Amino acid sequence: MYYLRLIELLLARLLERVRGARTVTEITEIRSRLESLVAYASTDYTLTIHCKERKFQCEYLRWYIPNKIVTTYEVFATTAGRAPTSLIEACADGRTFPKLLHGWSSPRNQKEAAIEAFIDLIQVHIASFNDPPRVI
């Protein structure tokens, strides 16, 4: 197994040498739409999940490597009111997701998939927060 990992590492390094150096620039439009999902709780708080599409252009210096555009989706949440501490902690950090759906999917569907993935992460965090520690 060790040798397979070593070969994989060497092939990855070789591929990076063949590709050569690259520069990355952000090409996100200044007025990129910020999609939001608002959830109202019956106990005096609201949760707002925001998603913003960001685009980056990778330009390779070698002529035989085509340039490409990489799209990511930044998702973060804000709470207002008396939200539970487990929810506040789960929403404290934003997440960045790559395109989760096929490349032909619309940006709107990609944003929805990123928001759904963020909600899944929040659920896992809250479930682990509420689980009592197990004594062995």
pLDDT in tens, 27-52: 887 766 777 778 777 778 888 999 99
Q: Would residue 10 count as lying in a domain?
A: no
Lowest mean pLDDT among 81-85, 95-99, 112-116, 126-130: 126-130
Helix (H, G, I), strand (E, B) or coil at 48: strand
Locate all alpha helices (DSSP H) within the chain, ordered by sequence. 2-19, 85-90, 107-130
63 or 129, higher pLDDT: 63
> Residue 67: which domain range?
22-130
pLDDT in tens, 43-100: 788 889 999 999 999 999 998 889 999 999 999 998 888 888 888 888 888 999 999 9
Q: Would residue 104 count as lying in a domain?
A: yes
Q: Structurally, how many domains does the chain consist of?
A: 1
117 in Cβ contact with 94 (< 8 Å):
no
Say what the pTM is. Answer: 0.78
Radius of gyration of the chain (CA): 20
What's the pLDDT at 35?
Answer: 74
Residue 79 CA to residue 126 CA, distance in Å, equals: 15
**68-81 vs 45-60, strand pairing mode:** antiparallel
